[in-house]
Amino acid sequence: MTIYDFKVMAQNGEEVSLSKYEGKVLLVVNTATKCGFTPQYDALESMYEELKDQGFEILDFPCNQFMHQAPGTDDEINTFCTLKFNTKFTRFKKIDVKGKNADPLYNWLITQNEKGKAQSIKWNFTKFLINRKGEVVDRFGPMDKPESFLDRVKEELKK
């Protein structure tokens, strides 16, 4: 199984197959607009702008499960991110990333490690690096600023 086997919901409610990203390096991030890590949007956008022409995409999944730090509608979240951080990468419909209502994508992502055991999402801005084959190759925590793993993303893009 790869990330390409999943379908998610676009902000407008339409189903999107992640197979449309086949052959690209992806960074999958669960985000929140009222979190102490929200300023990472600046660095994420910078990374996206620098690398998008090399086959890099960021997939943003807002999540309100951590102290309700992603309030508002999908449109309100998108407007906030676009106006405040000038983000241009793809943002999807708000989802759950843990618990009984977790999106199937996240149920899969959290098991993609060397032990094959689920490592739950502990907070907003957990990031998964996906290679061009659709496999998780790295995971970065909320405190890992995008600039700290920029070289790792560039390394993956060269493959």
Q: Which residue has the tokens 């490690």?
A: 113
In this structure, are strands 15-17 and 25-31 parallel, antiparallel, or unpaired? unpaired
| Interaxial angle between packed helices 74-85 and 40-51, expressed in degrees from 0 to 180 and rounded to the nearest 10 | 80
Which residue type, as a one-letter code, is found at position 8? V
Q: Which two tokens stand for residue 114?
A: 């060397």
- Report the chain's terminal Cα–Cα distance, integer Å: 20
Gap between the Cα atoms of 41 and 73, Å rounded:
18
The set of catalytic residues is: 35
Q: Which two tokens stand for residue 89?
A: 């990468």
